[in-house]
Amino acid sequence: PCRLFHGCNSLLTSQIISYYDSINQYKKELPEYFNFASDVLDEWSELEKDGRRPANPAFWWVNDEGEEVKWSFEELGFLSRKAANILSKACGLQRGDKVIAVLPRVPEWWLLNVACMRAGIVFIPGTSQLRAKDILYRLQVSKAKCIITNDTLAPAVESIMPDCQFLKSKLIVAKGSRAGWLNLKELF
C-alpha cells in the first residue's frame, strides 16, 4: 500500500522510489578531474560559437537603479581567465590557496568566483555585513592568502592587518585606488 508523502497529495511514496531507482540505474562515468569553468562554461561558449547552442546570456545582473551587466558565455570565459591571471600573477595565488571575498553581490563577485574555480583557488564568500572581528576570525581560521573587498569594508580589513600573518595580498573592487591595495578594475 502507498501512503502519502508528508501531506503532498499528488506525490506517492512509490513514485518517489521509482524515480530514485531510475536515477540510480543511470551509470555515467565521472571524470577524475572536473572544472566547471573549463568543462562547462568554455564548452557552452564553443557550442554558441559553432551555432550548436542558442546565444543566451551566461550572466545577467541588474541593480536597483536599473543598471545592468550582461555577459555571453564567451565574455564570461574571457573575463574569468583575465581575473584568474590577476589572482595568480598580481596576487601570487596558486592552486589550493584560499581567498576570502567580502563583497555585496556585484558582478565582480560572480566573476571572481568563476575565476577561482578556473585557477583551482578556494573561494570563501563572506557577507558584506561582516565586521572587523568577523573578518579577522575568518582570515585566521582559513589561512587565506588574499582578501577581496570594496571601499566600504577596506578600513575594517586595514584595522586587523597586524593580526593576519597569512594574508599576502589585498584586492579592492572600487573605481578609485587605495594605498596598499591592488585594484581589480585597474588590473583589468
Contact criterion met (CB below 8 Å) for 107 and 70: no
In a domain, 45, yes or no: no
In a domain, 8, yes or no: no
User: What is the grid cell recorded at 82?
Assistant: 583575465
In a domain, 108, yes or no: yes
User: What is the grid cell recorded at 179?
Assistant: 594605498
Q: What is the DSSP letter of 174?
A: S
Q: Which residue carries 497529495 as its cell? A: 9
Rounded to the nearest integer, the mean pLDDT of the chain is 88
In a domain, 163, yes or no: yes
Closest listed residue to residue 148, CA positions, set 166, 171, 175: 171
Structurally, how many domains does the chain consist of?
A: 1
Instruction: Return left, alpha or beta for 51; rule: phi > 0 is left, psi -120 to 50 is alpha, else beta.
Output: left
Q: Which domain holds residue 121?
A: 57-187
In a domain, 35, yes or no: no
The pLDDT score that the predictor gives to residue 16 is 55
- Give the CATH number of the domain where residue 62 resides: 3.40.50.980
Cα 3 to Cα 16, 19, 21, 23, 60, distances in angstroms: 11, 16, 18, 22, 43
Mean pLDDT of the 81-103 span: 97
**pLDDT category of residue 17 using cuts at 50, 70 and 90:** low
In a domain, 74, yes or no: yes
In a domain, 104, yes or no: yes
Write out pLDDT tens, residues 26-67: 666 767 888 999 988 999 999 988 888 888 899 999 999 999
pTM of the shown model: 0.80
Write out pLDDT tens, residues 119-163: 999 999 999 999 999 999 999 999 999 999 999 999 999 999 999
Mean pLDDT of the 85-112 span: 96
